[in-house]
Structure 1
Amino acid sequence: MAQVEIIAANLKQNVINSVKKTIKRVCAYARVSTDSEEQLTSYSSQIKHYSEKIKSNPYWEFVGIYADEGLSGTQVKNRTEFKRMIGDALNGKIDMIIAKSISRFARNTLDTLKYVRLLREHNVDVYFEKENIHTLELDSEMFLTLYSAFAQAESESTSMNVKMGLNAKMKRGEPVGNQNCYGYIWNQQTKELEINEEQAEVVRLIFDLYISGLGGRTIARKLNEKNIPTYFDKKWSQSSINRIIRNEKYVGDLLGQKYYVESPITHKRSLNYGEKEQYYVKDHHVGIISREKWNKAQEILRKRNSKQIPEGRKHKTTYSLKYDFSSKIVCGHCNSTYVRRQGTKRKDGIAPIYWKCYQQVDEKDFCKDSKFIREDVLKSMFVELYNLIVKNKHKTKDKLLNAIKSTLKEENYQKETNKLNIELDKYNSKLSKLVDMQLDGIIDKDIYIKKEQEIKTQITDIETKIAELLNLKNTNNDISNKIKEIEKIMNESTSIKEFDKETFDSIVERIILGEIDEDGNNNPNVVRFILKTGTEYKCENNGIDTSVSFGSYKRCCKIISNRN
């Protein structure tokens, strides 16, 4: 019996031969990733190359060229021609697609495999010239995965290089990205922000109204009533007002990297809460508002955003400046904020204003020990207190300021910071040498990981110490500035006959109504004024019935303690 030799089928060769010998409807996909003149020339060259290549092959029928000009390849959703080509292929109009390389087709593994598999299911071949891959070949997917991964790594590397370049610009104090904002015009020639005076007047008005105590919603309503448009000719809103208050550009500063791109593949932008470095440039350009006004607005914003939850409560109270004593009065029993209320009209037609613990207003049984106080009585208390301070201003001033100054540490912050920075450089140098040793094979991986962790721990500790020093320095500077403000006010002060809100706000931090004494007893008849220096004044009522109001009080104010 004759011996039969089985000759294995060469499936790869069969596919290639079938592609060559069968008339195929063929198109090409071309893409360049920038809009530079050189790349656009390459774009034109690709179109010419593929047109000639396809038309010169007798087994191919030229369908056309699909080309996306000047777009990033990392996301398919931004490439209209690519999507049109895929649609035509799935509708049976194309048998084969030619692309210069996998990186020209798509730059992330997920998209590459997704569309190649989809096209294979519809018997559409994709030929990548550079890698010499036909996707209808049985082993194509393995090579495709590998090459696509390399293409994605290349895209991420390019993205990293771009980020490094942008970070270098920000470190030099150069603006990056779109700098247009309400009140400014970006000059393309000089690369500088220039003030738009018409809009700048609106910005100044917004800050003035905000500092006067109005909230974002009220300011927005006032601007809309005057038919003042926003940057995009829309209506003002609370959020648009708050964005202006927060924007450091209006004081002349510049903050770089407020946002960052999480991935070169998704291009998703996220607000930078500290995940990435930021670059703050002071006095970068001409500001629209003064730094004093800016700082005051930021302090108000900070207080309004810092919501407090009184002990035993779930409700949050917020900071406000709408009225003379808004957010200034605190209950000495439950630590809640006092709120303003208006009583019923008397025979003379006047409705008295009074202040009451929030917990009595919201839940009448929650704070049983606090009592309300009439606004006119509280104002009279402050007038008497202020005049007492002015009367003894030299003696009182020295006592107050010496007490607060004694709490400030006299530190050589710069000297300490310099020492820590030298130490930080030393450990960074050690870390760099450790990396070199590991790359050169001098130390193995386990030793490297252990030493790296030790050095990074030291670096973190030093950076923490530097941050703490800076924070302490800033805190003491803030207190010193407050002392200077108080000193200036007291030196220039004369007695007042009626309540003055500006004077009150300049020296009073808060008022505490009621207290718990050393024996644990509640005393609702005590009014304490806490000054911004930390000094505390106490006023007490004279024992007359206070169930109606703090209508009467002893005309005596004395320093009882120092907060610091």
Structure 2
Amino acid sequence: MKAAIYCRLSKEDEGKNGESESIQNQKSMLTAYAAEKGFEVYWIYSDEDYSGIDRERPAFNAMIQAASEHKFDVVLAKTQSRFTRDMELVEKYLHGKFIEWGIRFIAVVDHVDTGEAANKKSRQINGLINEWYLEDLSNNVRAVLDHKRREGLFIGSFALYGYCKAPDAKGKLVIDPEAAEVVRRIFALALSGMGAHKIAQILNNEGIPSPTAYKQLHGAQYHAAMKKTDYSLWGSPTVYQMLHNQTYIGDLVQGRHKKVGYKSKKTVWLPKSQWIVVENTHEPIIDRDTFETVQRMLAARTRSGVQGTIHPLAKKVVCGCCGSYMEQTAHQPRADGVQRRYVRCRMHQRAPERCSNKTCTDLNALENTVRERIREYAEVYVDPEKVELPQRDDPVRQRAQAKRSELKRLQCEADRRRRALQQLYLDKVSGLIDATQFSEMNRAFGEEIKSAENRIRGLEAELEQQPEETDAAPTQRQRVRELAQVSHLTRELAVLLVRRVIVGTKDPLTGQQEITIEWAF
């Protein structure tokens, strides 16, 4: 009789049972057993670094294919769990296909033998125990990973574009200067009113590598999950996701998706309320004010115009007759080459019987009206001699602010690590982690707390010795004057200040049109 030998070693087995579970040990034991029973070894199939629940094991599937072709009579494995930990596969092959194909299965150590009908129940019990083991292991691993996420440790294989893994601090992110500049530019373009598609087009035209291409150029074995034909090009979904990613302001966002179960590789996206977000874990690339402004602009997003930009009042102009949005339209250029832009009621275009406002309103004039009213408010309510604005371009102030931000981040981090040490003991008592994991994590957390405390003392000493800031009043007054002299209406300014602009119908006698602005402040 010919026998196929099957050996398997998974990552969870390594270090747990040492050499006793090694592939070489399994081969030696099963080869000796085959010789003892007088079996001729047809082939030795071996899978390394594959879980017993994995149905994509190459050697396992090759053996099953050979079995279906009746190339051997017996399958030998050290234990039933080496063959599979999946109860469904136990029933499919041990109690189904192998019987049809006339193949006998023998697990040497736990005395499983399909040639003996009496031990079928024991095989099924073994299958259930093996599957329960994997389920418990999966739950424990998930609990440990979630614990690390809540402590502000990055556990991903690859850092988010704009960052890289800190070489001297496991689970920490540091800024990648080259990629971070691209991130800053993307947010700046979004602030100017450009849509994601136009931003991606600009980056592609300038030959800037996409996040996937950038990682690959720097030696990372990275492959994007999204299905694209050309990974070297930027796409609007990539830009859009980056503009929404809170990690760029120093908050670590993880746990956005999870596997549907330990038997499946399929993942599902979780609602935002279930994401794990830890604030101030790393240095930000984008300041919070800029990020929040971009979020408001995205929330009020609309389709880009012909030039790939969104006009400042998009989705803010409404018809005074029916309350519907007024859409942009363009007329043919005049003789002097100037193209006039207009807005007209969406409802009147689609259902004239429901709205009588057929007027086309000059969009350029409308933007000028809003701009002038903003300037009027600024001149009336803002006194340049009294208002103080943050002096962002003062190097001394910038350094002090950076130190205060780092100090706050380190204090939060040290507090999280102290709480983690308390939780760590509870996890050990509850069996979520073993003694070895507890010892390693306890030591690592202790070292991180000590390092953070040393840096905190250093920053506090530096801030105490910080020279007094220079008088920034002249520059502040100049900034207020610039605000009061708005040269043109931007999308950013419209999103921040204007809730909506109500355009009334045009008076047929005077040609006048009432414009009402509802402010967002």
TM-score higher than 0.5 here?
A: yes
2:488, 2:6 → 1: CA distance?
A: 78
- Counterpart in 1 of 2:381? 393
Matched, 1:155 2:134: yes
Which of residues 255, 264, 267 is equivalent to 2:265? 267
* Shift in CA distance, 84/279, structure 1 to aligned 2, threshold 3 Å: same
SS in 2 for 1:283: coil
AA aligned opposite 1:217: H
Letter aligned with residue 209 of structure 1: L
Matches within 5 A, 1:145-224: 145-191=124-170, 192-224=172-204
Give, as a single letter, the amino acid of the residue that structure 2 aligns with 1:237.
G
In the alignment, is residue 341 of structure 1 matched against residue 318 of structure 2? no
Partner of 2:509: none
Deviation per residue, 1:58-101 (Å, 9 max, x gap) = x3223343221121111221x11111222222222221112233
Q: Which moved more, 1:202-211 or 1:31-40?
A: 31-40
Find the counterpart in structure 2 of residue 249 from structure 1: 247
**What are the Cα deviations for residues 401-439 of structure 1, in whole angstroms up to 9, with x where unaligned?**
xxxxxxxxxxxxxxxxxxxxxxxxxxxxxxxxxxxxxxx
Q: What per-residue deviation string (whole Å, max 9, x for no partner) do you get for residues 238-286 of structure 1?
A: 11111221222222221121111111111322111269x4321112111
SS at match of 1:287: coil
Check the 8 A contact 1:26/1:96 in 2, yes or no. yes
Q: Which residue of 2 aligns with 1:126?
A: 105
Question: Within 2, Cα distance between the matches of 1:140 and 1:230?
Answer: 58
Mapped to 2, the partners of 1:74 and 1:92 lie a distance apart of 25
CA contact (8 A) 1:382 1:499 kept: no
Shift in Å, 1:149: 2.2
Higher-Rg member (1/2)? 1
The separation in 2 between residues aligned to 1:497 and 1:106, in whole angstroms, is 71
**Post-superposition shift, 1:353?**
2.4
Match of 1:369 in 2: 357
1:508 paired to 2:508: no
| Partner AA of 1:176 in structure 2 | I
AA aligned opposite 1:48: S
- Aligned-residue offset at 1:383: 4.8
Whole-angstrom distance in 2 between the partners of 1:206 and 1:215: 10
Partner of 1:290: 287
Residue 301 of structure 2: SS of its match in structure 1? Answer: helix
2:88 corresponds to 1:115 = no
Counterparts of 1:28 and 1:362, CA distance in 2: 73
SS of alignment partner, residue 288 of structure 1: coil
The answer (yes or no) to whether the contact 1:390–1:490 under 8 Å persists in 2 is no
Contact 1:109 1:149 in 2 (8 A): yes
Check whether the contact 1:27–1:94 (CA below 8 A) recurs between aligned residues: yes
Aligned match for 2:36, one of 41, 52, 56: 56
CA RMSD of aligned residues (A): 3.2
Instruction: Tell me the equivalent position of 1:97.
Output: 75
**AA partner of residue 88 (structure 1):** A
Retained in 2: the 8 A contact 1:327–1:337?
A: yes
1:352 corresponds to: 340
Among 332, 345, 370, the alignment partner of 2:320 is: 332
Q: Give me the identity figure in percent.
A: 24
How far did residue 496 of structure 1 move? 4.1
Q: 1:530 aligns with which of 509, 512, 518?
A: 518
Q: Are the aligned partners of 2:300 and 2:315 in contact in 1 as well (CA < 8 Å)?
A: no
Relative distance call for 1:374 and 1:30 in structure 2 (3 A) is same
- Find out whether 1:69 has 2:66 as its counterpart: no
SS of the residue corresponding to residue 327 of structure 1 reads coil
- CA gap of 1:73–1:393, structure 2 versus 1, over 3 A, is same
Distance of aligned partners of 1:493 and 1:62 in 2 relative to their CA distance in 1, 3 Å threshold? closer
| Aligned equivalents of 1:84, 1:349: Cα separation in 2 | 71
**Residue equivalent to 2:472:** none
In 2, distance between residues paired with 1:499 and 1:374?
A: 16
Q: Does residue 72 of structure 2 align to residue 84 of structure 1?
A: no
Q: TM-score, normalised by structure 1?
A: 0.63
Q: Cα deviations across residues 317-372 of structure 1 (Å, max 9, x unaligned)?
A: xxx96113222212233332222222344565544322212233455555323633
| Alignment correspondent of 1:446 | none
Amino acid at match of 2:184: R
2:20 is equivalent to residue 30 of structure 1 = no
Letter in 2 for 1:514: G
Q: Tell whether the 8 Å contact from 2:151 to 2:278 is kept in structure 1 after alignment.
A: no
Structure 1 segments unaligned to the other structure (5+ residues): 1-23, 308-319, 396-487, 516-523, 534-564
The number of residues matched between the two structures is: 396
Q: C-alpha offsets along residues 107-157 of structure 1, whole Å, 9 cap, x if unaligned? A: 121122112211111110001334423223335544433332222122111
Give the match's secondary structure for 1:339: strand
- Segments of structure 2 that go 5 or more residues without pairing to the other structure are 214-231, 384-476, 506-511
| Partner amino acid, structure 2, of 1:164 | A
Q: Per the alignment, in what secondary structure is the counterpart of residue 304 of structure 1?
A: coil
Length-normalised TM-score, structure 2: 0.68
Give the letter aligned to residue 192 of structure 2. Answer: S
